[in-house]
Amino acid sequence: MNVSPTEAEEALAAIQTIAQKTRHTIASGGTHISLIVTGIIWLAGFMSAQFLSGEIVIYLWIGLSLLGSILATGLNIRLSKRVHNLSASATAKRIGLIWLLLAVYCVAAIAVASPLDGKQLTVFIVLFVMLGYLSTGLLLSFSSVWPGLTIIALMLIGYFLFPGIFYLWMAILGGGGMIALGLYIRYRW
């Protein structure tokens, strides 16, 4: 290849710029919005669990979860039109089956273990959701497991070391962490 060092440097810089732009644009297509929305839901839900009491917290969580599910579905549909996986239908079936089995397993495990309080129930549910996230994430890419592992680690630290402020801990580090990661992907990645 008859290329001068200056030309090689320019070519590498152009490749780097395009690769970064592609990552950035694809992230702009949904990942960062999904993280920010989930982060806001966690922030609001766990804050309410820390400072409010009674049935209002349950209804708030149900409402927020439904809102999050609708937004996530909309975003995924939008993103799948731009970039889609060649083996998407087979993968989608496997992902759906994993979530279905996990939901059944989660209900069965909670029924048998009978968590004593809201904190234990929260940890149970989040552990199952994160197990689903990690399992399905691994079908798509290895890099997607890190946010899930971080959330599990933060949750366990909060549960065992700071039980008095567990919900506040989850709101700020779990919800806030997701918002920060979403903003990082949007503006820096």
Partner 1 sequence: MASLVTLENGNEVDFTYLRDLLEVTDGNLGAHLRKLEEAGYIAVNKTFVERKPRTYVSATAEGRKVFQEHVVALEAILKSK
Binding site for partner 1 (CB under 8 A): 1, 3-5, 8-9, 11-12, 14-15, 18-19, 21-23, 25-26, 81-87, 140-141
Least Å distance, CB 8 to partner 1, is: 4
124 within 8 A of 115, measured Cβ to Cβ: yes
- The residues near 135 (Cβ < 8 Å, ≥ 6 apart) are 98, 102
42 within 8 A of 65, measured Cβ to Cβ: no
Using the minimum distance from each CB to partner 1, give the nearer residue, 11 or 156: 11
Q: How many CB atoms lie within 10 A of CB 179?
A: 19
Least Å distance, CB 99 to partner 1, is: 21
Using the minimum distance from each CB to partner 1, give the nearer residue, 21 or 108: 21
Least Å distance, CB 19 to partner 1, is: 4
Which helix (DSSP H) or strand (DSSP E) does residue 100 occupy? helix 88-113
Using the minimum distance from each CB to partner 1, give the nearer residue, 5 or 164: 5
Using the minimum distance from each CB to partner 1, give the nearer residue, 20 or 65: 20
Q: What is the dihedral of CA 164, 43, 131, 87, to 10 degrees?
A: -170
Least Å distance, CB 74 to partner 1, is: 15
